[in-house]
């Protein structure tokens, strides 16, 4: 049932406890039993996998876990079966396109820490990878790694399916064109008939419950809705810490729109006028 993974490899990963299955409350399930999807979302978690990462010229080894919803793996499995049946294995890249595989990168004794830092970061190809200054996503991600490194422990959760606050890269590109014609970031989404923000943070809450239980964590974020979503997901001892960085002339207008929408950004922090 673990989609397009060879059954013997899968069995080995399960035996080594590198491939596990958890329910929405973060409890481990028997990976050999057929999961009851009526009970709620089920995640498959693969890891830990050591990932050496450069932070300010120093190498730190984070433990990477990839996680994906069981329903998404089932769909990939279905596609894999039909491609195999048609002898079209060369089209397997469509499998990866159909799944949102999220990640958590953990440094140090995250389980044992009293109240570690956590960054729940939404995928932003333009900011995180290209280094675009139209938003502050790239610097926020980098700063999160630096802050975690400074404390010796913490976790970055990277939500790969959240591109464009949930509307995807194609629609986000269209909203950039609309923004260049005068609309703000939220108006541009609405012009496409799409929600301002359709992100779901419940899987991030689940992975934190699995890693630490419902214990204190400090969320690096200026977004009160993200905090509320994670609380709704079962994290009752999560608190927000401001995470303002990467402000430039190119993204001031964007940040001002976020402030008006409810992000805890003071005009003084983003260099704008009240």
In the complex, the residues that contact ligand GTP under the rule CB under 6 A are 122-124, 135, 137, 140, 162-165, 167, 172, 175, 179, 185, 189, 221-223, 226, 243, 258, 263
Residues 94, 98, 99: CA angle, nearest 5 degrees: 125
Answer for the pair 245, 140: CB distance below 8 angstroms, yes or no: yes
Least spacing, CB of residue 207 vs ligand GTP, in Å:
17
> In the annotation, is 197 catalytic?
yes
The one catalytic residue in 199, 203, 229, 256 is 199
Residue given tokens 């490194």 in the structure block: 149
The one catalytic residue in 197, 203, 229, 256 is 197
Residues 132, 133, 135: CA angle, nearest 5 degrees: 100
Burial 96-118 (b: 16+ CB within 10 A, else e): eeebebbbbbbbbebeebeebbb
Tokens of 89: 């294995």
Least spacing, CB of residue 137 vs ligand GTP, in Å:
5
Query: Which CB sits closer to ligand GTP, 25 or 132?
Result: 132
Query: Which CB sits closer to ligand GTP, 31 or 233?
Result: 233
Least spacing, CB of residue 163 vs ligand GTP, in Å:
5
Query: Which CB sits closer to ligand GTP, 209 or 270?
Result: 270
Active site residues: 197, 199
């Amino acid at each position: 049932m673990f989609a397009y993974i060879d059954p013997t490899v899968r069995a080995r990963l399960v035996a080594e406890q590198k491939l596990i299955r958890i329910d929405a409350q973060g409890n481990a399930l028997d990976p050999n039993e057929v999961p009851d999807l009526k009970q709620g979302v089920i995640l498959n978690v693969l890891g830990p996998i050591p990932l050496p990462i450069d932070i300010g010229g120093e190498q730190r080894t984070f433990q990477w876990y990839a996680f994906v919803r069981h329903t998404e793996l089932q769909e990939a499995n279905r596609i894999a079966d039909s491609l195999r049946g048609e002898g079209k294995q060369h089209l397997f890249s469509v499998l990866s396109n159909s799944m949102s595989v999220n990640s958590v990168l953990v440094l140090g004794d995250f389980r044992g820490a009293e109240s570690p830092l956590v960054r729940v970061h939404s995928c932003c190809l333009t900011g995180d990878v290209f280094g675009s200054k139209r938003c502050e996503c790239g610097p926020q991600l980098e700063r999160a790694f630096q802050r975690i490194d400074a404390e010796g422990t913490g976790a970055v959760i990277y939500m790969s399916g959240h591109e464009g606050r949930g509307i995807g890269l194609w629609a986000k590109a269209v909203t950039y064109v609309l923004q260049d014609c005068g609309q703000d970031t939220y108006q541009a989404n609405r012009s496409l008939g799409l929600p301002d923000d359709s992100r779901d943070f419940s899987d991030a809450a689940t992975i934190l419950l699995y890693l630490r239980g419902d214990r204190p964590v400090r969320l690096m974020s200026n977004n009160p809705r993200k905090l509320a979503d994670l609380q709704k997901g079962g994290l009752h001892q999560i608190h927000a810490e401001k995470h303002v960085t990467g402000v430039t002339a190119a993204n001031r207008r964007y940040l001002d729109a976020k402030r008006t929408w409810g992000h805890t950004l003071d005009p003084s922090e983003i260099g704008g006028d009240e």
